[in-house]
């Protein structure tokens, strides 16, 4: 277990777990991922609700498309 972390992600649902993974992988940060449940076993309506933002702006459309592409390749990338 880490005694020090560069970043702490609270919530290990799909969004939190992915954030922790990419912070560690791309930025080389020591990341603590905290949740009372198992990793990826829960998701909040707030995280799932990001999909409803899809049509609100070009920035959100781009972010959602990038997220979908990452999801499609996440298993092969992480093993």
What does the mean pLDDT of the chain come to?
A: 81
Domain ranges of the chain: 7-78
At 8-55, the pLDDT tens digits run 999 888 888 888 998 999 888 999 999 998 887 777 666 666 666 556
Whole-model pTM over 0.95: no
The set of residues, in sequence order, having a beta carbon less than 8 Å from that of 16 and lying 6+ positions away, is 9, 10, 33, 35, 47
CB atoms within 10 A of CB 15: 17
Provide the pLDDT for residue 51: 60
Provide the pLDDT for residue 38: 82
- Radius of gyration of the CA atoms of the chain, in A: 14
Rounded to an integer, what distance in angstroms lies between the CA atom of residue 12 and that of residue 41?
8
The closest of 24, 38, 28, 31 to 4, measured between CA atoms, is 31
């Amino acid at each position: 277990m880490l005694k020090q972390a560069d970043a702490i992600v609270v919530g290990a649902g799909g969004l939190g777990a992915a954030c922790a993974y990419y912070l560690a992988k791309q930025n080389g940060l020591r990341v603590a991922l905290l949740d009372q449940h198992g990793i990826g076993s829960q998701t909040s309506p707030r995280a799932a609700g990001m999909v409803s933002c899809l049509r609100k702006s070009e920035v959100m459309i781009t972010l959602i498309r990038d997220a979908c592409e990452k999801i499609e390749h996440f298993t092969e990338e992480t093993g």
